[in-house]
């Protein structure tokens, strides 16, 4: 029988997969998707804790995370489009002008 | 188990089936997103994971969040990702050259360690903890959506307004970032295009199609002018001009 511990463990697993994806991948859009996965994993933990405590505030937090994620995606994708337009590349390794 | 039931936890056999069926699918989707070479495949794997999470929300007595997950995340955000992917990074496969040597192996190692620590730690911390269940909190205002609305518009109303402002600012920011300013006069107007077309030295009629008056309809065959010569205007400049010799053009007697 899956209890809260199973859901939180799954959430931890998904979060780490997203974190490893951010470290491993180079395409800026895939990086963004990995961040979305991490946010979703956090949401799963929030919903589980809401059920654990019998308190709806956790679900409200998950709702706010979703709204902020939507705003973040819109601005982030616009920035990626802008970088692609000037550099013709979506790879985060190519944006290294500030390094020198 | 009887203790859990006495605490009002709603773990049923159906939920157990749902969890053990969908949890591996969610993990497979996440791994597929990280491992897929093609960014579009990554997006589709992530959609799979998000749908599984939406079902988990519904199962955990959060039907409103489950539907928002499907509509907003998989319906809107991931489709926005796909739109941008089609515009930008569709064919951009990740390079296999590491900027920092050994970074990928180190990342996988540290990630595996973090996953093991986090998952086992939280599992052991919460193991056997009875869930209070949301039946009471959901029933207080007549349902899950009503309960959430009650909290959103009373206790969290300031945060709600701020996120509304944030969404407007984000939409304006995206418009500003992706807007291309065209100078007036950068693009020829229709009268200017027409004058250029009828200017002396320009041939106003459409170009002859390839193969017109020729023995072939291939678009590598130039159009023939009325005097029998090939029209240079019907030949693409990137094609090398090559005329068949008499021997090449002769009947090979392959048809009897």
CB contact under 8 A, B84 and A75: no
CB contact under 8 A, B65 and A62: yes
pTM exceeding 0.95: no
CB contact under 8 A, A80 and B129: no
pLDDT in tens, A15-59: 999 999 999 988 889 999 999 999 999 999 999 999 999 889 999
Restricting to B residues 236-255, those with a Cβ less than 8 Å away from any Cβ of A are: none
CB contact under 8 A, B104 and A53: no
B114 by Cβ neighbours in 10 Å (0-12 / 13-18 / 19+) ranks as middle
The confidence band for A88, taking pLDDT boundaries of 50, 70 and 90, is confident
Nearest residue of A to residue B37 by CA position? A25
Q: What span, in angstroms and rounded, lies between the C-alpha atoms of B225 and B188?
A: 32
Residue A99 has pLDDT above 70, yes or no: no
- Render each residue's pLDDT in chain B as its tens digit; 256 residues: 333 443 445 567 888 899 999 999 999 999 999 999 888 999 999 999 999 999 999 999 899 999 999 999 999 999 999 998 888 856 656 666 777 788 889 999 999 999 999 999 999 988 888 888 888 888 888 888 999 999 999 999 999 999 999 999 999 999 999 888 888 777 888 898 888 888 888 878 776 665 555 566 666 677 777 777 777 777 777 777 677 778 877 877 776 5
B135 by Cβ neighbours in 10 Å (0-12 / 13-18 / 19+) ranks as middle
Tokens for B61, please give them.
Answer: 């007595």
Note the pLDDT of residue B6: 39
Note the pLDDT of residue B196: 87
Q: How many helical (H) and strand (E) elements, i.e. helices and strands, does chain A have? A: 3, 0
- Options 3.40.1110.10, 3.40.710.10, 3.40.1280.10, 1.20.120.1200; CATH for B8-92 is 1.20.120.1200
Of B92, B120, B152, the CB nearest to A89: B92
CB A39 within 8 A of CB A62: no
Q: Is B72 on the interface with A (CB under 8 A)?
A: yes
Q: What span, in angstroms and rounded, lies between the C-alpha atoms of B54 and B62?
A: 9
Note the pLDDT of residue B182: 81
CA B60 to chain centre: 29
CB count, 10 Å around CB of B44? Answer: 15
Dihedral pair phi/psi, residue B231, rounded to 5°: -80, 120
CB contact under 8 A, A51 and B50: no
CA A65 to chain centre: 10
Q: What is the DSSP letter of A98?
A: G
CB count, 10 Å around CB of B93? Answer: 13
Of A5, A79, A80, the CB nearest to B126: A5
ipTM of the complex: 0.92
Tell me which residue has tokens 């920035």.
Answer: A79
Beta strands in B141-199 (DSSP E): none
Range(s) within chain B of domains with CATH label 1.20.120.1200: 8-92
Note the pLDDT of residue A21: 94
């Amino acid at each position: 029988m899956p209890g809260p511990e199973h859901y939180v463990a799954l959430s931890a697993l998904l979060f780490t997969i997203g974190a490893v994806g951010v470290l491993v991948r180079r395409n800026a859009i895939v990086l963004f998707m990995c961040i979305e996965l991490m946010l979703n994993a956090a949401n799963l933990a929030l919903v589980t804790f809401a059920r654990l405590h019998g308190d709806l505030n956790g679900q409200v937090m998950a709702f706010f995370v979703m709204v902020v994620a939507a705003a973040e995606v819109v601005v982030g994708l616009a920035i990626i489009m802008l970088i692609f337009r000037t550099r013709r590349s979506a790879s985060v390794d190519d944006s290294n002008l500030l390094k020198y | 188990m009887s203790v859990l039931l006495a605490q009002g936890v709603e773990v049923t056999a159906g939920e157990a089936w749902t969890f053990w069926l969908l949890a591996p699918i969610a993990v497979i989707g996440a791994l597929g997103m990280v491992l897929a070479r093609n960014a579009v495949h990554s997006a589709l794997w992530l959609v799979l994971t998000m749908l599984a999470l939406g079902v988990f929300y519904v199962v955990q007595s959060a039907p409103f969040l489950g539907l928002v997950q499907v509509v907003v995340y998989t319906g809107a955000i991931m489709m926005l990702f796909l739109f941008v992917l089609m515009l930008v990074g569709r064919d951009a496969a990740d390079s296999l050259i590491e900027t920092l040597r050994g970074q990928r192996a180190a990342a996988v190692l540290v990630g595996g360690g973090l996953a093991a620590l986090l998952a086992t730690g939280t599992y052991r911390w919460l193991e056997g903890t009875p869930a209070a269940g949301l039946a009471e909190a959901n029933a207080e205002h007549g349902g899950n959506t009503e309960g959430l609305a009650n909290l959103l518009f009373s206790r969290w109303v300031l945060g709600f307004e701020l996120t509304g402002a944030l969404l407007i600012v984000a939409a304006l920011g995206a418009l500003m970032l992706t807007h291309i300013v065209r100078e007036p006069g950068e693009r020829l107007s229709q009268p200017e295009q027409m004058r250029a077309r009828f200017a002396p030295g320009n041939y106003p009629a459409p170009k002859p199609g390839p193969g017109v008056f020729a023995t072939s309809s291939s678009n590598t065959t130039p159009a023939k002018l009325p005097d029998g010569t090939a029209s240079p205007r019907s030949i693409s400049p990137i094609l090398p001009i090559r005329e068949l010799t008499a021997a090449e053009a002769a009947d090979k007697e392959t048809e009897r």
